[in-house]
Chain A
Amino acid sequence: MSKAIVIGYLAKVSAANVNASHSEGNVVVAKKVTLPDGSTVPYISGQALRRMLRDRLEELGYPLSEPFAQVSGQEVTPPVRPWEFVDEDLFGYLDPSGGRRRTSPVRVSAAVGLFPFQGDRDLGTRSFERFGQAMAAGGNMYETELYANLFKGTILVELDRVGKWPSRYELIQPSKREKEQEREREEADSDKKKKEELRSVLDVLVKDTSPPQRGFWAELKPEVKRERLQKLLEALNILWGGGRTTRMLADLSPKFIAYARLRVKHPVFLEALSAHYEDGKYVLELEPLLNALQKIDDYREQTLFGLEPGVFGNEEEIRSTLAGYGAVLTVHEALAQAKQDVGTLWSQS
């Protein structure tokens, strides 16, 4: 039985500061990491990528949850209706008021640049003309760090947790009673009420747990779960976002992807993608990727690769080498095939 989908991808940025950090004086610095040898590498945080995926899901027609659904003082309570909101289901939530929490079944690693930051900056002027003065008065200069880089990232989806929620404590609030018996009675009552509420939700199936587990499982119908995952793959296909998009728009849709459906939850491509730059093109290094594929040979149920033409100097080598492990298509074709693959999930349940 498949337990996870893992996607390793490479996104190309030609000149941008996708995920800026703070300002140092009049310089907007890029998020970057300092290596032990003193060089720095830019990265895009996992949170920033999650936000971009959420935004794309909204564009694809899903209503998103309202994070400020209920506000009391400084306490903000999310809706906690993951059957209704795809982002609550796929990206999790925390209800600080009642302790209901869902760990995201979709794990999104930071996207880390494969090449060091070279110290490039974009110069801008904040013109005084906007403040009622003549253009001749000039303006304040500011700078924004920017880079050209290839970013590697990984997405891991826990298939057994998508569209499936234990009532305790993802859906009902834990009882605050001290005594075990009273607590159990109160939580059983909450379970009952939640079950009643879910009875009217068409796409949700409810199943009691067997001891020693308590409460019940609520689960989306397989076709709804499949559709959510297919839309997530589509969101990756059209990924863009981050800051400074008005003047440094960057397309983060992958230029290379490796897709694997696995019988274990193992982020196999996390350290498998590397490249070097040669004769004006990126060259994908295949050895780490092949090693990763061989390592999980016993657990791979489906493997696909997507490769955008014209990006890599060793395109032919990539195609011929990876063909032994799975189909090598363009990225959008590979994601379309991945959507078909996801369409076969949960067909027995």
Chain B
Amino acid sequence: MRVRAPVASFRRPLDHNYQRTLPMPPPTTLKGIAGAALGLSDRELWAPESPMRGLKISVWMDAKPGRARDLWTVLKIKNARIEARSPYFRELLFFTRYTLLYGGDAALLQKLKRAFRDPAYPLSLGREDELLLVEEVQLDEAKPGEPRLQGTLVVGDVRQMSNLRPILREGSVFEPPVVETLPLAFTVDAKGIRHPEPPVPVSFLPLGVEWELSGLSAWWWKDRAWVWIEKI
């Protein structure tokens, strides 16, 4: 699904006063978007028996976004009065373009395709106001191929991977990847509180340079590769 949004943000889990954003939607957001399209509550989406658990996901960044630091003010309340105003920053991405990739059972994908075109809830990239625009939804078959990746996600810390090799070409702009420890799924307890499942390192490979990660099972579609995030 090709999408774009004027504003998006994906807060890094432990950031508080200065909330950096991840450059692409993380795995749980990708699942959440599918859940919102199908009209699933968080309990249904993250239930152990949810068919969404078996859904494979990935994402491509299709264009480098603009960036802003958005100033917020938290009002600290004490004795029913505003005791202090505490500023914090939230990084925002502007003019984003992504391709969200979903893989799995053909019947579920057909259902998802219909839902992305006619979602139960409006779809967003981040918070509820950060609406996304669906430009195209396509169902197609991917082919296995060489693991040459850029502008996408990989589970694991690429900085620790000895099989990582940047493919440098004239004009390439090298940018270090962003690595963050993230949950790949949540569980929702009896009280309705959402708990992250044990987080794992996830690498966000930037656009600009292709990275060869030998040994990974990559898939290709439309001259671009990705690796599924599937063990959720």
Contacts and interface: CB of A to CB of B under 8 A. Distances in A.
Interface of A: 3-4, 21-22, 31-36, 41, 43, 45-47, 50, 68, 71, 73-74, 76, 92, 99, 103-104, 107-110, 112, 152, 154, 156, 158, 169, 174-180, 183, 263-268, 270-271
Contacts of B94: 33, 35, 41, 43, 112
B36 to A, nearest CB: 10
Nearest to A152: B6
B51 interface: no
B109 interface: no
Contacts of B6: 109-110, 112, 152, 270-271
Contact of B131 (A31, A33, A156): A156
Contacts of A110: 6-7, 129
B121 to A, nearest CB: 7
Interface string B1-33: 000111100000000000000000000000000
Contacts of A31: 68, 70-71
Contacts of B120: 265
B119 A33 contact: no
Contacts of A177: 190
Contacts of A104: 128-129
B128 A103 contact: yes
Nearest to B129: A46
A71 B80 contact: yes
Interface of B: 4-7, 64-72, 76-80, 87, 92, 94-95, 117-122, 124, 128-134, 190-193
B131 A74 contact: no
B131 A270 contact: yes
A271 B4 contact: yes
B71 A21 contact: yes
How would you classify the secondary structure of chain A's contact residues: helix, strand, loop or mixed?
loop
Given A103-B128, A104-B128, A271-B4, 8 more contacts: A21-B70, A35-B95, A99-B193, A103-B121, A109-B129, A174-B191, A265-B122, A270-B4
Contacts of B193: 99
Contacts of A158: 121-122
A298 B71 CA distance: 40
Contacts of B70: 21, 31, 45
28 contacts: A31-B68, A32-B68, A33-B94, A34-B67, A35-B94, A46-B130, A47-B72, A47-B129, A50-B129, A68-B77, A68-B80, A71-B77, A76-B77, A99-B191, A99-B192, A109-B6, A109-B129, A156-B131, A158-B121, A169-B192, A177-B190, A179-B190, A264-B118, A264-B119, A265-B118, A270-B4, A270-B6, A271-B133
Contact of B133 (A3, A35, A43, A270): A270
B64 A36 contact: yes
Contacts of A103: 121, 128
Contacts of B65: 36
A177 B191 CA distance: 7
A263 to B, nearest CB: 8
Contacts of A152: 6
B129 A35 contact: no
